[in-house]
Structures are given as structure tokens and as C-alpha cells.
Amino acid sequence: MKNILQIIIPAGQKRERIDRYLTSHVENATRTKVQDAIRNGEVLVNNKSIKVSYSVSPGDVIIVNSNKPLPPVVLPENIPLEIFYEDYDLLVVNKPAGMVTHPAYKNYSGTLVNALMFRFGIQQLDPTQRPGIVHRLDKDTSGLLVVAKNVIALQKLSKQFALKTSKREYRAIVWGIFKQKKGIIDAPLGRSKSDRKKIAVITGGKPAVTEYEVLEEFEFISFLKLKLRTGRTHQIRSHLNSLQHPVFGDASYNGRIANWNGLTGKKKVFVQNLLEICQRQALHASILGFTHPTSEKELIFTSSLPKDIDEILKKLRKSKKD
């Protein structure tokens, strides 16, 4: 007997071919399997058969027939949250490193959504649903997120993020010294051909633009301010890696190499100590700004650096004086 998986396309989702969308949102799916399922009539959109080239839109209801067991339901969990701001329409959360934003394969508990369900009194969810999630941060990126508390707020906030009228600013510790202290990284991004879990600069990828500015320099490490003009998956991490300036501590994008660029002796030991402090990429979403969906007032929030990043900077500054 086949199980049925239902996916509701969230507000703010850009038009995207359904085979690509399902490949990235269904556990263990491949594009070939998805295309075969569509051609066999096993995928319906709004209760109608569709072609492989169909583009999903916000509000579409996708039904996928599956022979495999469905993922478990998502349950509320009493997880403490650092709330910067809250009213009837939204709340702003300071997400810690290590917390997944929304449930996905192998991460159906301990997520921000589990915590929000407890706070909002929601009993359980299909794992494909993401109550109030307007945007997300990678698991090991800390910082500010806005969450909508009703449908109208979700639609209006999602539109701001889609149109890039919101303000998103990051702080990062990265490898190397930049020749240009300010710059724009304009390079298209897509799934890496060598590793589908990673994002890379590729010909024909989606447009991606990141602004950077060097705030401090050390012997072989820089501290950056970064602004997003687009919001692609792993954008900052992959863009910096493409310039041979990976984010410090980033295991996926060459950031945890203690002998980076030939470091040896005391310098290598110093780096190893810093990596012990930072067990993730040293990337923090520090500033978040947007227009309130009801009052239309401009809101802006600032999050101070988390303990691990702050401690690394203190050690780097001390070593610079010594």
C-alpha cells in the first residue's frame, strides 16, 4: 500500500520546476526518480496531473505517492528561545549555532520549528510544513531570524525577503588577507557536481551577490562585515570559499584546516586552539531589518557576537599585540 506525502508550497517561494523542487525537498529523492514519478502520474498538483516542466507557485498543494515510509510527524518541544522582539504579528529570534531552522531528513526534533510549535501551542505537523518561517539560517550559523505569527504577516514578510528589501548583515571570521578591503562577489551558485550536498560557483547557476568589507586584519585571518543582495543556500560560505577565503571553522567549505596555506609550528598550534573554541563556521547574522507587516514601521535589530566568535577575536587581537 502506498503512502501519500503532501507538500504545500510556502509563501515567498519563487517559481521553480517541480522536479528540481521535489528533489531538494523529499528525502532520498533523485531528479530521475522524481521525473519518472511525474510521468507515471504519481505526482499531483492541486489534484491534477502535471508535466515535468511544471513550475511550482506559492499555495500549490503537491501530492506524492510513495512506497517508502513517510517521515515522522514533528512534535512540539520545550526548547528555550532567545526572543529579541515579539508582538501579535511576529517575533524575532536569536538562533544559536547548532539549531536547525526547520525539520528535515535526520533532523525532526530540536529544531526552531519544534520550539515554535510549543510556544504557539501547535500539537503536531507534517515535516514539510514550516509554521511562520520567513527565511532560514544554516544549522551552524547563529543570529537573527524573523518568524511570522499569522498568514498575512507571513505573506508580507516573505515578499520583502523575496524582493530583497529587508536588511541582512553578517559578521564572519575568514581565512586570509584580502587585497581589496571592500568588494562585491557576483558569482552564480548551484549544486556542486562533485558533491550534491554542497553549493559551488557554477556556470548557469542562480544569480548570487554578496558584499563584503574587512573590519579587522590579523596575520592570516580577517574579520568581515557581509551583506546579502540575494539569499541563496550557503551563499556567503560558498562565495568566500570560491575566493580561497573560506569561513573559519567551516568543515564543509575548507575552513577547518589547521595548516592552512602552509602554517606550521606555533602558528599551527595557535590555529588548532582557535578551532577547538569554534566547533562550527564562524558566521553570525548580526543585523536584521524589515518593514513591520501591519504598522509599516521600519524595524532593525542587532545581535552581539556569540561567545565563541568573540573569544576567537580576543585571542587574535592579543596575538597581534604580542
DSSP character at residue 38:
H
From CA 114, how far away is CA 93, in angstroms rounded? 14
Phi, psi dihedral angles at 226 (to 5 degrees): -130, 140
Q: Determine the straight-line distance between the first and last CA of the chain, rounded to whole angstroms.
A: 69
Q: Among 159, 161, 231, 160, which Cα is nearest to 199's? A: 231
Burial string for 233-252 (b: 16+ CB within 10 Å, else e) reads: bbbbbbbbbbbebbbbbbeb
User: What are the residues whose beta carbons fall under 8 Å from the beta carbon of 59, sequence distance 6 or more?
Assistant: 8, 9, 11
Q: Which of 60, 138, 250, 308 is catalytic?
A: 138
Of 34, 38, 16, give the one whose Cα is nearest residue 190: 16
Tell how strand 90-95 and strand 221-228 pair up: unpaired
DSSP state of 92: E
* Under 8 Å between Cβ of 225 and 170: yes
CB contact burial 270-285 (16+ within 10 A = b; e otherwise): bbeebbeebebbbbbb
Catalytic residue at 138?
A: yes
Q: Tell me the catalytic residues.
A: 138
